[in-house]
């Protein structure tokens, strides 16, 4: 069973009409930003096949991304490598989520946020939903948008810094990425607070 709209329906019954699903991508990589998306779905136009982005094929993700961008309200935001190193990855992830929510053209009145913890500076009503991208269609949509956007960022960075394999590993610590770190050194896009990179320095 994939995610459904039951959490959203329950909130609508309580009077919340603009419900944003929020998710982030990129906590684990050694390089690149962390990216978050906030998505407000139209209950009458929900793309078919929404699911956790990790459970979808590349082709399905791209199709759904296109449909989400056409049918829903979407905001995407990042926290930079510098912010990750200064704040820590959890706080930076929450910062990206806050920015995504703040970037919606019309503010949401409730947020469903993937994970077990809410950003501490969040002011609007919200709840943390553990494994939310497998439970809520709004969060699943956000996971797809964030994944596609961050992959595009890493493809662009891969062209600027060839040799690290970011076009395929997306900044994660794959064997080829680790070898490149040893042979080519640390780039400005590497997270210096992450142990494998810190140890190289």
DSSP string covering 50-114, please? ---GGGS-HHHHHHHHHHHHHHSEEEEEEE-HHHHHHH-HHHHHHHHHHHHHHT-SS--SEEEEE
Q: Tell whether 114 is in a known binding site.
A: yes
Q: Tell whether 102 is in a known binding site.
A: no
Q: Tell whether 85 is in a known binding site.
A: no
Contact between residue 143 and residue 114 where contact means Cβ atoms under 8 Å apart? yes
Question: What is residue 23's three-state secondary structure?
Answer: strand
- Residue numbers belonging to the annotated binding site: 23-24, 114
- Residue numbers belonging to the annotated binding site for a divalent metal cation: 23-24, 114
């Amino acid at each position: 069973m994939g995610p459904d709209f039951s959490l959203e329906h329950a909130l609508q019954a309580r009077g919340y009409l603009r419900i944003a699903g929020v998710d982030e991508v990129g906590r684990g990589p050694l390089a690149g930003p962390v990216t978050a998306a906030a998505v407000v779905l139209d209950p009458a136009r929900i793309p078919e096949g929404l699911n956790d982005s990790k459970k979808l094929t590349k082709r399905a993700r791209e199709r759904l991304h296109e449909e989400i961008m056409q049918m829903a309200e979407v905001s995407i935001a990042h926290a930079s490598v510098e912010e990750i190193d200064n704040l820590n990855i959890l706080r930076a992830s929450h910062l990206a989520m806050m920015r995504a929510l703040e970037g919606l053209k019309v503010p949401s009145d409730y947020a469903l946020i993937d994970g077990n913890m809410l950003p501490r500076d969040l002011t609007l009503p919200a709840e943390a939903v553990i494994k939310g991208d497998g439970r809520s269609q709004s969060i699943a949509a956000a996971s797809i948008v964030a994944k596609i956007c961050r992959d595009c960022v890493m493809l662009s960075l891969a062209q600027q810094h060839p040799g690290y394999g970011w076009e395929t590993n997306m900044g994660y610590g794959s064997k080829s990425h680790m070898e490149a770190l040893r042979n080519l050194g640390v780039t400005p896009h590497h997270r210096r607070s992450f142990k494998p990179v810190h140890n190289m320095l």
